[in-house]
Amino acid sequence: MNATDIKAARAAKVSATVERIRAIEAAEGVTPASLSKFREELMALAAQEHLFPAGEFPPPANGEKGSNRYLMQMDEGGTFALYLNALNPGNETKPHDHTTWAVVVAVDGQELNKVYRRTDDGTDPERCALVVDHEVMVEPGRGIAFMPDAIHSIHTTGAVPTRHLHMYGLSLEQLDGRKAYMADTGEIVPYNKNFMKATQQAKA
């Protein structure tokens, strides 16, 4: 397949995948069970690695930190937003929430997700107490899904850059209420102050 054929095939597969996820949400709402179905749909899409060639979706140049974020598709109003994130090894984030559902699956590369549990009662908007509840290595054939109130951090620990599909119920550009949770100090702060630098790329 030439580049034009790959782009057309990718657009069609992405559109069909998002349509199936949209239908699942309409029928079942957003629950851990429905998010598992979203994850399975996205893992099937990510398994078609030829649709997301590394040359077309590179990470930041020269091994730099941060990510290149490519918009794959987004519904009107910013819902059902699907991105491809390309990162180099050695990146990590502070623990953070999303305030919307999220699913992450891998085309290539490894990203360790640490999922946290709050041990405080959650009544103080500026303080928290966290412990790591479990860890999931997102890699080809294995993804992760989050309810809106989930807290996680990411760590690209592998030896090769990652190309991962990230899908959200609402686009990242509209999530202005996200929080970062400082496990060491207990502070809760706006996540945009701690967000791993991302360069938004044109829709691909």
pLDDT tens string 140-172? 999 999 999 999 999 998 889 999 999 999 999
Number of domains in the chain: 1
Tell me which residue of 111, 103, 167 sits closest to 139, measured CA to CA.
111
Range of the domain at 75: 3-201
CA dist., res. 159 & res. 72, Å (int): 25
Question: Looking up tokens 């850059």, which residue turns up?
Answer: 161
pTM, two decimal places: 0.91
Residue 77 backbone phi and psi in degrees, to 5: 90, 0
Alpha carbons 100 and 49: distance in angstroms, whole number: 27
CATH number at residue 80: 2.60.120.10
* 151-155 and 67-73 beta bridge pairing: unpaired
Q: For the segment 10-31, what is each residue's pLDDT rounded down to a tens digit?
A: 999 999 999 999 999 999 999 9
Read off φ and ψ for residue 60, nearest 5 degrees.
Answer: -55, 145
The CA-based diameter of the chain, rounded to the nearest angstrom, is 56
Cα–Cα dist 16/36, whole Å: 18
